[in-house]
């Protein structure tokens, strides 16, 4: 393992966070603030469309970052991935490739690229180890998105080998927490299930529908833990190897929805719909590399994290606690 290059001791680095207005981005900004960073910039996608090279150049020329934390992405659950595979692939690929290239041309000191658990092969041995990323093709419903984000790893390693560009690549597992996207068209499984259960309690609905058979398993990481891991890697990691960020806790969708029903007070019927896809059969990460390389591990208990998330949704439900649905023309939807 190579020693990380320290930031200048006499002056704080200028840090550009793309996707800083998104679910994960807001937590990363809060974590940077807690750690005393004051020169942090997070322009909105309406200011700088990262699919357009001239807007990327304008952004970098304005901010002049020493460090880039690239979180911006077009994201969504299984439904959104199935509806927009082409736009998800193109927009995520072009954002990452152009941003890293322009960062290299400007000699940015460090680039922290955020990948996705969807990059792993559909039948990766459990627990997922970073060295298994190339064992096969990703699960079909989210393969275009996963492969587009996976190219960030290829680019980071290639640029390091040819140009000595200091780029690292992180693979966070499914995130959840307060401030998540609860929009029914684009939300991931935890906010979707929380919304269904809380809304059913409020309306007295006798049942809720759950996609799939319930047998698929997932691992979830509390968003604040993920942000802490990203900042830790920014500060202390400088190897070409990809790094998993997860909780190492695996739960089936059936057990997950049962737990969410319990925590929300929903006592009706849970109706699974096997005509809808389960997605990848199992997800559970080996997170030992993060602990070994830069001393990070998750700290939030899953039940407590769900309670905080449910409380946030209930408090903001009347305010329309959703994010806009993912659509092909939203070029830089924040993570």
CATH of residue 165's domain is 3.40.50.720
For the stretch 166-212, pLDDT in tens is 999 999 999 999 999 998 877 889 999 999 999 999 999 999 999 99
H or E stretch at 193: helix 189-203
Q: How far apart are CA 255 and CA 260, in angstroms?
A: 9
Q: How many domains does the chain have?
A: 1
Burial (CB count <10 Å: 0-12, 13-18, 19+), residue 15: buried
Q: Are 64 and 109 in contact (CB under 8 A)?
A: no
Catalytic positions, please? 145
Average pLDDT on 300-324 reads: 86
**pLDDT value for 180:** 95
110 inside domain: yes
What's the predicted TM-score (pTM) here? 0.90
Q: Are 283 and 123 in contact (CB under 8 A)?
A: no
272 inside domain: no
120 inside domain: yes
List Cα–Cα distances, 42 to 32, 68, 272, in angstroms. 12, 10, 41
Beta-strand relationship, 167-172 and 67-70: unpaired
154 inside domain: yes
Q: How confident is the model at residue 255 (pLDDT cuts 50, 70, 90)?
A: very high
Average pLDDT on 29-43 reads: 97
Q: How far apart are CA 43 and CA 105, in angstroms?
A: 21
Q: Are 252 and 216 in contact (CB under 8 A)?
A: yes
Beta-strand relationship, 67-70 and 15-18: parallel
Tell me how crowded residue 141 is: count the other CB atoms within 10 A of its CB: 21
121 inside domain: yes
241 inside domain: yes
Q: What is the mean pLDDT of the chain?
A: 91
257 inside domain: no
For the stretch 109-123, pLDDT in tens is 999 999 999 999 999
For the stretch 84-110, pLDDT in tens is 899 999 999 999 999 999 999 999 999
**Which residue range is the domain that position 120 belongs to?**
15-180+221-249+283-300
Q: How confident is the model at residue 321 (pLDDT cuts 50, 70, 90)?
A: low
**pLDDT value for 280:** 82
Q: How far apart are CA 324 and CA 102, in angstroms?
A: 29
291 inside domain: yes
59: pLDDT strictly greater than 80: yes
């Amino acid at each position: 393992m190579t020693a990380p290059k320290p930031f200048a001791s006499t002056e704080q680095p200028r840090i550009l966070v793309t996707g800083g207005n998104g679910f994960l981005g807001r937590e990363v900004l809060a974590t940077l603030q807690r750690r005393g960073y004051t020169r942090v910039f997070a322009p909105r996608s309406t200011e700088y469309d990262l699919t357009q090279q001239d807007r990327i150049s304008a952004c970098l020329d304005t901010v002049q970052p020493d460090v880039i934390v690239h979180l911006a992405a077009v994201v969504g659950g299984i439904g959104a991935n199935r509806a927009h595979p082409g736009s998800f692939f193109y927009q995520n690929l072009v954002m990452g490739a152009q941003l890293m290239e322009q960062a290299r041309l400007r000699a940015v000191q460090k680039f922290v690229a955020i990948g996705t658990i969807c990059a792993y092969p559909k039948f990766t041995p459990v627990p997922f180890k970073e060295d298994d990323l190339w064992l096969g093709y990703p699960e079909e419903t989210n393969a275009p998105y996963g492969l587009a984000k996976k190219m960030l790893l290829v680019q980071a390693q290639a640029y390091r080998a040819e140009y000595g560009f200091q780029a690292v690549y992180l693979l966070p597992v499914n995130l959840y927490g307060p401030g998540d996207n609860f929009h029914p068209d684009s939300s991931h499984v935890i906010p979707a299930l929380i919304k269904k259960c809380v809304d059913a309690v409020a309306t007295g609905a006798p049942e809720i529908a759950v996609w799939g058979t319930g047998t698929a398993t997932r691992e979830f990481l509390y968003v604040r833990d993920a942000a802490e891991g990203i900042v830790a890697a920014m500060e202390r990691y400088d190897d070409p190897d990809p790094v998993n960020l997860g909780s190492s806790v695996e739960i089936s969708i059936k057990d997950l929805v049962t737990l969410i029903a319990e925590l929300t007070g929903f006592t009706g019927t849970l109706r699974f719909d096997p005509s809808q896809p389960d997605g990848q059969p199992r997800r559970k990460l080996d997170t030992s590399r993060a602990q070994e390389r830069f001393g990070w591990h998750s700290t939030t208990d899953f039940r407590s994290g769900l309670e905080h998330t449910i409380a946030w949704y209930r408090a903001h439900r009347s305010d329309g606690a959703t994010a806009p649905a993912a659509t092909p023309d939203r070029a830089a939807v924040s993570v």
